[in-house]
Structure 1
Amino acid sequence: MWFIQPKQDYIPEIPWKHADEPAVMAWQIRARNYDTSGSNFSLVVMALISLGVGYFGFHIASLAEGALPVSLVVGGGMFLILILLSMSITHHSTILVYRFTETLAEEYSWKPQEAAAASFLKWSAIILLPIVGVLILMDPSLVIAGIGPLGMGLMAGMMGAKKSDNEHHPLDWRKTDKIYLYPGREIIGLNIPWYSPDLDKMMPRGVRQIYCKKGELEEVLNFFTTRLPEIDVVEEKFFL
């Protein structure tokens, strides 16, 4: 989930393009780098759908086998798979790694939810398979209960085969002409004018988001304000 911060130190492993310049500060964070209001509503809808599908599986298993443990495994397995897939779609998170020097900055990012979801499904299947195996030994007609954990294991294998692509974004923070503080979130926005080749002119607005770790926003903000003392700092929402 987005609130589980990465424990592995990725900073030394990143192939920084400007590693020859000494870093003033560097950090990593896992965050949802988008507007979450629409995602929250979508998740509620998907949760209701997942609950309905889980109940449908529970009901069908009850009619087919009649055993409560089998019905719970089938219905619960279907619900867990669907809700996990829904969350990976509506509330995906991104790991962002920043490195700032006195002249520029770099950001590497990637989405780890596929690996996290695959791990969850794998361990769920490992835990459920022995339970289902015991049930099948007690009553061979309960073989239908193996659909849930086997499906989880298959999905874990498919998701584990995928690798998230890394994204690299250079950032010339010295060109910032306005600094934004996003209300209610520890995000700093740097407005950096940029050249549009399609329009063949400079675009005055181009906000780059900087996601700060909890409690460290002031430290990051101080980095900019001490080096860009003439730039205005405003508390205002901007496009994520």
Structure 2
Amino acid sequence: MFKLNKDLELPPQLKWKFSHEPELLGWTVRARNYNTFVADLMFWFCFFVIMISSILIYRSMDDDPVFSGLLTLLYFSGLSISLISITHQRINCVYRITQSGMEHCEWKNFPEWALTFLKWLAGVTAIFFVFMATVDPSFLLGALIGPGGVGLTYLSMAYSKNYREMHTQYHHYAFEWKEITQLAVVTNREIVDFKYSIIQKGDEHVTNGGVNIFCKRKQKEMVAEFIRSFLSPNVPIIKTKADVPQY
């Protein structure tokens, strides 16, 4: 039903700038490219609000415990899934290091697992409500309100062009070693950060910025040392603490 741990499949439009050179180091990782501390606080605050409101809703509907419980479950499940999809989004990253420089690609996969969950939840609860309606016709109303609402949520997510575009962003970056002006090991996350200074093609102005390199667990020190071997000796190497990506 769910395929959460499947290997990353590279996007078909990806074309490496340094593809003519052999890869010296490369890896893929799924990361949360935003302030995770704030996102986690938001998740737990909203989760407790949803849980408390679910309890209050259940206690206010005391006519039928089965009917009330199912509606409350639908309310709690739907909002919780929506909350997780907002606060725990992950981006796919693939990195490639060659003799000329470093490049990486970032993209998002559309959350098909959320659609699958909503589709199954709507179908199973609809069958249950219709079955219970043979005992008590009032359950037909629940079938319209509960599974019907979940079904509308599924349709809006599955066929909304704006929603799909928001969850399928694609970016490709390439940097030569001479463009990197500072390297930093982030102490509170599995990130190596570097600052760059480049002149864009067709532009006479210098563009300065920063890039977060997301690493696998216990990999960042090795990645930082590997990158350091290609940099000029006058490029500063520091340690820092950060949580917000610098693009």
The TM-score normalised by the length of structure 2 is: 0.79
Aligned sequence identity (%) = 24
How far the C-alpha of 1:38 sits from its partner, in A, is 1.7
Q: 1:152 aligns with which of 150, 162, 171?
A: 150
Taking the aligned partners of 1:82 and 1:166, their CA distance within structure 2 comes to 24
Q: CA deviation at 1:48?
A: 3.0
Residues 180 and 233 in structure 1, CA contact (< 8 A), matched pair in contact too: yes
Is the 2:23–2:97 contact (alpha carbons within 8 Å) kept by the matching residues of 1?
yes
- 5 Å-filtered alignment, 1:128-139, equals 128-139=125-136
Candidates 215, 229, 236, aligned match of 1:232? 236
CA distance in 2, matches of 1:6, 1:206: 33
Where has structure 1 moved over 4 Å in runs of 4 or more? none
Aligned-pair CA distance for 1:68: 0.9
Residues 43, 84 of structure 2: 8 Å contact kept: yes
2:100 counterpart (98, 103, 113): 103
The AA in structure 2 aligned to 1:28 is T
Give the structure 1 partner of residue 37 of structure 2.
Answer: 37
How far 1:14 sits from its partner (Å)?
A: 5.1
CA contact (8 A) 1:96 1:107 kept: yes
- Whether 2:132 is the aligned partner of 1:125: answer no
Change in CA separation of 1:6 and 1:139 when aligned onto 2, cut-off 3 Å = same
TM-score normalized by the length of structure 1? 0.81
Match of 1:177 in 2: 181
Distance 2:228 2:4 in 1: 27
User: Higher mean Cα deviation, 213-222 or 80-89?
Assistant: 213-222
Letter of the 1:11 partner, please give it.
L
Change (3 A) 1:157 1:56: same
Aligned partner of 1:81: which letter? G
Gaps of at least 5 residues in structure 2 are: none
* Cα RMSD for the two superposed structures: 2.9
Change in Cα spacing, 1:109 to 1:160, as seen in structure 2 (3 Å) is farther
Which amino acid letter does the alignment assign opposite residue 38 of structure 2?
Answer: G
Letter in 1 for 2:108: K
Judging changes above 3 Å, is the alpha-carbon distance between structure 1 residues 105 and 156 closer, same or farther for their aligned structure 2 residues?
farther
State the 1:129 CA deviation.
3.0
> Aligned pair in 2 of structure 1 residues 71, 5: CA closer, same or farther (>3 Å)?
closer
Name the residue aligned to 2:65: 68
C-alpha displacement of 1:217: 2.2
Structure 1, residues 10-30: CA drift from partner, whole Å, max 9, x if none? Answer: 137452243444333332211
Q: Distance in 2 between matches of 1:99 and 1:5?
A: 24
